[in-house]
Structure 1
Amino acid sequence: MEITIISELIATLLIGGIIGFFLSKSSLNKFRNNKIKEAQNKASLIIKEAVSKAETVKQEKMLQAKEKFLELKVQHEEQINQREKKIIDTEKRIKDKESKLNDDLHQNNIQKKQLDQAIKDNQSKADILLKKEEELKNLHQQQVQILEKISGFSAEEAKAELIDALKHEAKTKAQAQIQSIIEEANLNAKAEAKKVIIQTIQRIGTEVAIENSVSVFNIESDEIKGRIIGREGRNIRALEAMTGVEIIVDDTPESILLSCFDPVRREVARLSLHKLVTDGRIHPARIEEVVAKTQQQIEEEIIEIGKKTILDLGIHGLNPELVKIVGRMKYRSSYGQNLLQHSREVANIAGILASELGVNPKIAKRAGLLHDIGKVPEEESELPHAILGMQWAEKYGENSTVVNAIGAHHDEIEMKSLIAPIVQVADAISGARPGARRQVIESYIQRLKDLEDAALSFDGVNTAYAIQAGRELRVMVQSEKIDDQKASQLSFEISEKIQNELTYPGQVKVTVIRETRAVNVAR
Structure 2
Amino acid sequence: MMLLIGIIAGLAAGIALAYFILTPLAVKKAKDELELQLKSAKQDSESIIKRAQEEADHLKKKALLEGREELHRLREEQEKDFKRDREELKQWEERISRREDNIDKKEEAIERTRQQLDIERARVEEMKEEAEKKLFSLADLSMEDAREIVLRRAEEIYEHDLAQKLKEMKDHYDEEGNRYAKWVIVNSVQRYAADYTGDITVSAVSLPSDEMKGRIIGREGRNIRAFEKLTGSDLVIDDTPEVVVVSCFNPLRRAIAKMTLDRLVEDGRIHPARIEEMYEKSKKEIYSEIKEAGQEALMKVGIPSMHPELVKLLGRLKFRTSYGQNVLQHSVEVAHLAALMASELGLNIDKAKRGAILHDIGKAIDHEVEGSHAIIGGEIAKRYGEKVQVVNMIQYHHGETEALTPEAVL
TM-score by length of 1: 0.39
Decide which structure has the larger Cα Rg and report it. 1
Say which structure, 1 or 2, has more relative contact order (CA 8 Å, 6+ apart): 2
